[in-house]
Amino acid sequence: MPTEVILPKVDMDMATGQISRWFATEGQQVKKGDVLFEIETDKAAMEIDAPASGVLRDVTGKEGVDIPVGAPVAWIYADGEAYGAKQDTAPISPLVGEMSTKSTEGGAVPPTSHSVTPPSALPGISPSGGEIGQSPSGARATPLARRLAREAGLALASVTGTGPYGRVVKADIDAAIAKGGAKEAPALAPEAPAAAAASAPAVKAMSDDQVLKLFEEGSYELVPHDNMRKTIARRLVEAKTTIPHFYLTLDCELDALLALRTQINAAAPIKKTDKGEAPAYKLSVNDMVIKAMAMALKAVPDANASWTESAMVKHKHADVGVAVSIPGGLITPIIRHADEKSLSTISNEMKDLASRARSRKLKPEEYQGGTTAVSNLGMFGIKDFAAVINPPHATILAVGAGEERAVVRNGEIKIATVMSVTLSTDHRAVDGALGAELLVAFKRLIENPMGLLV
């Protein structure tokens, strides 16, 4: 049997991907491990290796077209294997096997194979959505084996696969039929109308037609959503409809922090670069906010948590995601163990992550996970705002602009540089008093910044 080449899942949020470039053509000889094609997810570009050696046939995955994860995009025929009719292009189960992927950034990632397994926390994708045709049993099988099993009424889950990665092939089905294999269970009866009504969304969004009818025809143009915009929209709706947000706001005085930042930057050693001499680091206020947020989480460990239905996830490290605006959307690269890193390390790491985020060269492990996040709109002069929690985080800190304000000290009005911050909190994981304790710890560090150097 030819080896099926499928679109792999390389990002936890990935439901579809686009092939941006094929490196082999129809009928070309390829070797296992050769770069076969490049895919673009909503956040990164990845090179995909050939899973087998042979001749590339029936390339069905077109460049620039949305393709569901797990869908076959081509087949590889082993040397000497007879080439028959075009393969059945019915979609298959999502990949649960080995697929070698490499970042396209200068080969920064070693071209070694590794397991790519959809995280269990991912929401299920409904076959009725037309994105992924998945066997109810979850078994992996070739399209031919799947069809033969269906025609024979055979339960795929009862068949032991002998193909690549345990995939069920035709010979397995024939053997199971000969042995009188287990039959598929009858389809479940439709759910009661009341149950269906209970699971339906309370409010349905306006349809496209309903929206467009509100505007005069010819007064607008339609720009199709790319994958990033679709993912952002889906995750924001998910966050706002499934996470009970509440918000806490505090004002932090920045004068001591700004003075310390000036001293630290002035003391930066000079190093030689390709562009001449430059300071070894240049701290921003945001770098110090990241460090303060990480240290606050370590000081209030109960707030360094994530919610799951079965248990509270208590994190041992403070990994701070930082919202970075990129063309067409945003992404949240993560500073791992931010509480343990120096300010200069955080600053240089953040500059590197932000630069590669804007060119979509981040690896998935650089933006997936994290225990909290920071979103800073101060550079736009935004005074204060409330950010939407990015699951699996239980908190996100929205940072406004530092500005001179009148403050009262000991009964006298003084001028101070003040920054408003708002903590959005998942009430399932962090209660009001706990969230307040976290924010007070953050304020204490910002207003007494020498603590960031300890």
Return the active site residues.
Answer: 427
Question: Which structure tokens are listed for 308?
Answer: 């799951």
* Rounded distance between C-alpha atoms, residue 218 and residue 259, angstroms: 55
Contacts of 424 (CB under 8 A, 6+ apart): 245, 246, 247, 386, 387, 388, 389, 395, 396, 397, 398
Q: CA separation (Å) from 218 to 200, 210, 215, 224, 272?
A: 35, 16, 9, 17, 56
* Rounded distance between C-alpha atoms, residue 11 and residue 209, angstroms: 32
Listing DSSP states for 325-362 in one string gives EETTEEE--EETTGGGS-HHHHHHHHHHHHHHHHTT--
Other residues' Cβ atoms within 10 Å of the Cβ of residue 353: 20
Question: Which structure tokens are listed for 382?
Answer: 């935004």
Q: Is the CA virtual torsion 265, 387, 367, 336 positive or negative? A: positive
Q: CA separation (Å) from 43 to 65, 79, 90?
A: 16, 37, 27
At residue 400, φ and ψ (nearest 5 deg) are: -95, -175
DSSP 8-state code for residue 19: E
Question: Which structure tokens are listed for 85?
Answer: 């009719």
* Rounded distance between C-alpha atoms, residue 233 and residue 239, angstroms: 10
Question: Which structure tokens are listed for 109?
Answer: 């990632």
